[in-house]
Each structure stands twice: as C-alpha cells, then as structure tokens.
Amino acid sequence: MTDDPPNPALLPAGLTDVLPPEAEREAMLVEVLAETFARHGYERVKPPLLEFEDSLLAGSGAAVADQTFRLMDPVSHRMMGLRADTTPQVARIAATRLARIPRPLRLSYAGQVLRVQGTQLAPARQLPQAGIELIGPQSADADAEVATVAAEALAAVGITEASLDITLPRLAPALLDAAGVQGEDRRRLARALDRKDAAAVAEHATAAGGAALLLPALLAAAGPADAALAVLHAEALPAVARTIADHAAAVVAAIRARAPGLRITLDPLEFRGLRYHTGVAFTIYGTGRTGELARGGRYLSGEEPATGMTLYPDAVLRAVSPLPQRLRVFLPEGADAAQAAALRAAGHATLARLSPADTAHALRCTHVMDGTGAPVPVEEQ
C-alpha cells in the first residue's frame, strides 16, 4: 500500500490528451471538412455538451441511450446527459429553434462526443465528429446529396479513393414481416443474417417459407452496387420491400450522376448498428485498413424526414498522409516586427526570444529569421 497521490497524467480508460502537432492537424482537418459543408449551403450549429436527459435521448437519441453518461444538474435537480452523438441534438434544434425556417434545412456541426464504452477495435471514448444533416426532403436526391458531399469533404483532405457502402436496414424486417416470421424463429433468422451465416439463413428461411425464401439470394448479392441491384430487380419482392429496393436504385443513380467516379457497394440485408435509420444507410471506407471514415443515412428528425452523414476526424487523420508541418521560425532579439508579421501571414509560426535562455533549439524551431526576413533552416547541433 502507498499513500502517494495518483500521477496527474493518468487519465480514465479511453480518454487521452491530444498533443502537438496532432491536435493542430485535427483542428485543421475539421475546418477543411466544415468549409466543404458550408460551400454546399450547410449552416453550422453548435449544440451544448450537456442537455436534459429527456430531450437528449428522445427520437433518434434513444439509439445511444446505453452509451450516454448521466449526471444530476445541481441547478435544476433534473437528470442530464452528456452527448454520445450529435445528430439527435441537431434534430432537436431543427424541431424547436429552427422550426419556422423553410425546408429543406441544411445544417452542419463539429465537436466532441463522449461514450460510456469504446469497442475492442476502437477503445477511445471521447471522439471528434463533423457532419451534415439535411432535414425536410424525402427523396433519392436528398440521400445522394449527403453521401456525395461527405465524399467530397473527404477528397478535400486527400482521401480520393473512398468507397461508399449502402445498406437497406428496413429490407430484412420487411421480408420477415411479409413471411409472418415472429418470436424465436425471427430472432434466430435475424441472428443468422447478422452473422452472415449463409447456411443458417438458408435453413431458417426454408423453414419459414414465403418471402423469407428470398433471403439467401439477397444475402449473397452483397457487393458491387450494380450487381446487387440486378438481383433486387429480378426477385419478386413484396410491395414494401419493392419500394425499398426501387428507392435504393434511385439513390445509386442519383449518386452516380453527382460523383461518377465514386465506388459504390450495396449490402441489401445489413442492419447492424442502424437501429434508428428508416431508409438507406451509408458507410464510407478508405483504402486499406482505415476502417469507417463516415456513417449516416435516412432517419426521422422529430416528425420530419431527414438524412445525414457523420464523419470521424480521428479515423480520417489515420487515413491521410501527414500534412506538412508549420515552420517554427525563431525571432532573434530586435527582429523587425513587419518582417515577422509577413512570416505569420505566410502561415508560419514565429517564436520571439524572451530571455537569454531562449534559443532556436530550445524552442524547437525549424528555422531562424535572417536579416532580410527570410526563414533559414536551423543548423543541426
């Protein structure tokens, strides 16, 4: 046993300090994303970190209720929640503060979220988000807009070979409803679909009969969008499922019209992690093992149709080449102020000498301003 105080640098699991230069890289990347959103007419909002629990977890917020930290507000004595996702807050703003603004309403955001638990592959519990929400229209063009704006924002930071994966989270439930599959049979079939267990899906679908017999072929159809759409077109889908499939085809066509070079895949029966989506859902991946760079789709913003996309700047940073670091220019004593200002205007950082101990090496400078005002590389010691 020891009575020594804990190390002040020790942080709770899943939380970390972001240090130079990574913190600046993340901030610069978020602003590039936000600028792309703004150029497409998405206006920025800034919701608070904390809200009353009953409003924060209403609507689509219910999907992240188990990931939300809660605390008692000492002022109102009401329970509050610390946001685990920003989309529900934007939906609240649209339904209240911006209720009288004509639709379609285009909003963007950037900020941090905190979650109760990370995952095995992504243990961080505090995460940056940047995203867009398009509220009002319920059309393939609206869905295509958010997908292509997100892809354009990623291209603006250097990710030009992204892949858009489209899923139809309401299609499998529609087929199970049409087949009358309920209770334990439905749970078994849903579990097999979730695990992509083709043998189990075929077994349970055969036992269920009816529209469930379509499931094995649709499970195998996952892949390039054109091939998957061809399978959906060829199958005799029930009316509700046919509407879902036709809308997916229209979304793919609208995306192709806007971004003909974007690689698109389609998984008709994927529904994992998309509990609040009411239509097509999207995930954007980079090349290699970058993981998810963005996720979104169609949902209800209160009573209004909406579609949106959330980008994950921490994942995006891992997927892009490091940006050139800002020059750190040491200013000798008596340096010309106008020359120093010109260096800052050019995007460089200037560090003035404040004491005899201040040297270019001590201040981790990469350059020194010479007598002409030019930055000269620091000589290695």
Cα distances (angstroms) measured from residue 364 to each of 37, 322, 349, 351, 368: 36, 19, 11, 10, 11
- Is the pLDDT score of 273 beyond 90? no
Mean pLDDT to the nearest integer, 78-102:
95
Q: What is the rounded CA–CA span in Å between residue 52 and residue 76?
A: 10
| Surface-to-core class of residue 317, CB atoms within 10 Å of its CB (0-12 exposed, 13-18 middle, 19+ buried) | middle
Q: What is the rounded CA–CA span in Å between residue 69 and residue 84?
A: 8
Which amino acid is residue 110, in one-letter code?
A
Q: For 181-231, what is each residue's pLDDT tens digit?
A: 999 999 999 999 999 999 999 999 999 999 999 999 999 999 999 999 999
CB 159 within 8 A of CB 135: no
Mean pLDDT to the nearest integer, 304-326:
91
| Surface-to-core class of residue 99, CB atoms within 10 Å of its CB (0-12 exposed, 13-18 middle, 19+ buried) | exposed
Alpha helices in 268-335 (DSSP H): 313-319
Residues of the chain with pLDDT > 90: what percent? 87
Mean pLDDT to the nearest integer, 58-77:
91
Q: What is the rounded CA–CA span in Å between residue 295 and residue 282?
A: 6
- What pLDDT sits at residue 379? 86
Higher pLDDT among residues 77 and 380, named by residue: 77
- Is the pLDDT score of 349 beyond 90? yes
- Model confidence, pTM: 0.92
